[in-house]
Amino acid sequence: MSTNKTHHPAPEALKSFVHDFVARHSNAHHVDVLGMERLGGGAIQENYALDLRLQGGTFDGNQQWVLRTDSPSRLPMSLGRAEEFSILREAFKVGVKVPEPLFLHRDEGELGKDFYLMRRVAGNAGGKNLVRIERTQKQRAQLLGELGASLGQLHSITPSSVSLGFLGMPAGNPALYRVEEYRTLLDRLGKPQPTLEWALRWLELNAPTDSKCSLVHGDFRTGNYMVEQHRLTGILDWEFSSWSSPQEDIGWFSARCWRFGALQQDAGGIGPLEELLTGYRSITGATLKDDTLPYWRVMAAVRWAVIALFQAQRHLSGEQTSLELALTGRMLPEIELDVVDEIAAVEKAYSHA
């Protein structure tokens, strides 16, 4: 999700419903919807910039919010909006830098889908832009440190600390749980994927034994956080959150597929991973096992390939005709090459150990 408006006004039925919904939940005695436009980005969900003027109630004055709702189709591993809202609320409580969640609408036939409202944060989320911005070493370390600190705060949330019953618990080893999840998803597509099936077997045979589990973002990467004046303003897009190994988020963030061409910068194309880990350790005090991070980068590449296949299927099935979704599927050979390269790098490191 980005703050770039695409100048597609919201449907009138949605605007009218939101007007009444805000008035009811904010206790305002008058609400003006000054603007409501579709935001760019967000290949999985729909997001609208909402500009309001409220008189009276909890949010008296001008407000800039975002409405987040479902696209016409969804990925099988994606949470619903009510579930995502619950995750966002828990992350906000422990100090993760996220847009403040405000109100949830559980649909009962009025619109045909749930939505929630959150505060709009300023900044730029475009991955290609963020990796090309010139920063001083101090500015870069500060941004990566803030990202690491927010990730550390998120990973402080454990299954025993909150009630999120809709999240399935990995049975035993989180890495092996993921391997089985992706095998099942590939089986659903009904078309052989030999490179990915080989990679999943490699992941199964080389799975780390650590069974630590925390709440993970699931899509923690450059392109899913907002930056203004070199500072983190908000982490976005929580629909892939789950219980898993904390290393999964770090492996995803540092995978080559999310460096947007800045391959030499292993922390999301922004800078060295150690600067992110410094911020992470400032919260958790944990010393991560660096020898397992390459494994989770392989897992990240495999996961991205599975997602790309399902994104293309959303288009091919006719559920949601979209050039963006179709082109994502065309990226599969490039992603598979990343998978092979990541495994080769790990095997080379093992052979020299």
E strand or H helix at 19, and its extent? helix 12-26
- At 262, is the secondary structure helix, strand, or coil? coil
The mean pLDDT value for 106-132 works out to: 94
218 shares a domain with 304: yes
pTM for the predicted model, two decimal places: 0.91
Number of domains observed in the structure of the chain: 2
Q: Are 54 and 63 in contact (CB under 8 A)?
A: yes
Determine how many CB atoms are found less than 10 A away from the CB of residue 238.
26
The band of 43, judged by pLDDT with boundaries at 50, 70 and 90, is low
Q: Is 3 a residue whose pLDDT tops 50?
A: no
170 shares a domain with 69: no
196 shares a domain with 65: no
216 shares a domain with 132: yes
281 shares a domain with 132: yes
DSSP3 helix / strand / coil % (the chain, rounded to 5): 45, 20, 35
Range of 268's domain?
A: 127-352
- At 45, is the secondary structure helix, strand, or coil? strand
185 shares a domain with 98: no
The band of 84, judged by pLDDT with boundaries at 50, 70 and 90, is very high
CA distance 20 to 152: 38
**pLDDT tens sequence across 288-335:** 666 789 999 999 999 999 999 888 877 666 666 777 777 777 788 899
